[in-house]
Amino acid sequence: MTDHHPIVLKRSKSKLIGILTGMFPLIYSVSTLFQKPFNQWPNFFPGSNYLFLGFLLLFLVLVVAVSVYVVRTLLSKTPGLVVSDAGILDDSSAVSGGFIPWSDIIEINARSIFGQHYLGIQVHNPDEYINRKKTWLQRFLMRRNHRQFKAVISISASSLRISHEELEDLIKRRFEHYKTGHLKYT
């Protein structure tokens, strides 16, 4: 029997708060290094403390950017993912795919990177999804995903109210229904 109702997956506030909580020790660690005099920083070779400073600043910018994204996501009322008979509406991450019709999807593969589980979604027109992104960093990350994993879109359950296994089963089952013609509204 075909389910013509979309499945709406909300963001998990507790998972997002956990991510945000993990950022505080990182920000604190970097800020304590900035409190030391510059000449007391590691200097393995002439000028290495400047290189160290560059890495610290880059790391700090990245951690603050992730923290800002998590706070904005916590305040957002939109769902993280919607799976319908028409396709997937992905807003689960900073480089989410947006709306992905089933007809655009070639293949869905489960993968894991550094212990984090993802569903890699290969689409017919990856450049269309890359060009939708507003920032160069989002486009860069999507291109990197496409080059390394052949999947321009990666969906993780890390910020959603669902386990990775349940998410994988849901999306693969709906995609299989589409491929076999059981979904009438595509």
**Residue 82 and residue 36: Cα distance in Å, rounded?**
48
Contact 64, 72 (CB under 8 A): no
Angle made by CA atoms 138, 139, 145, in degrees to the nearest 5: 90
Token pair of 53 as six digits? 């400073």
87 conformational bin, left if phi > 0, alpha if psi -120 to 50, beta if neither:
left
**Residue 155 and residue 118: Cα distance in Å, rounded?**
5
pTM of the model: 0.75
**Domain boundaries, given as residue ranges, for the chain:** 11-75, 81-179
pLDDT in tens, 56-75: 888 888 888 888 888 888 88
- Which has the minimum average pLDDT: 42-46, 117-121, 173-177? 42-46
**Residue 130 and residue 97: Cα distance in Å, rounded?**
8
Instruction: Please determine, for residue 108, whether its predicted confidence score (pLDDT) is greater than 50.
Output: yes
pLDDT in tens, 141-168: 899 988 888 888 999 888 888 999 999 9
137 conformational bin, left if phi > 0, alpha if psi -120 to 50, beta if neither:
alpha
What is the arithmetic mean of pLDDT over 180-185?
65
Q: What pLDDT does 186 receive?
A: 39
pLDDT in tens, 13-35: 888 888 889 888 888 888 887 77
- Those residues whose C-beta lies under 8 Å from the C-beta of residue 43, and which sit 6 or more positions away, are 49
Q: What pLDDT does 170 receive?
A: 94
Contact 121, 108 (CB under 8 A): yes
Tell me the CA end-to-end span of the chain in Å, nearest whole number: 16
Token pair of 127 as six digits? 């450049």
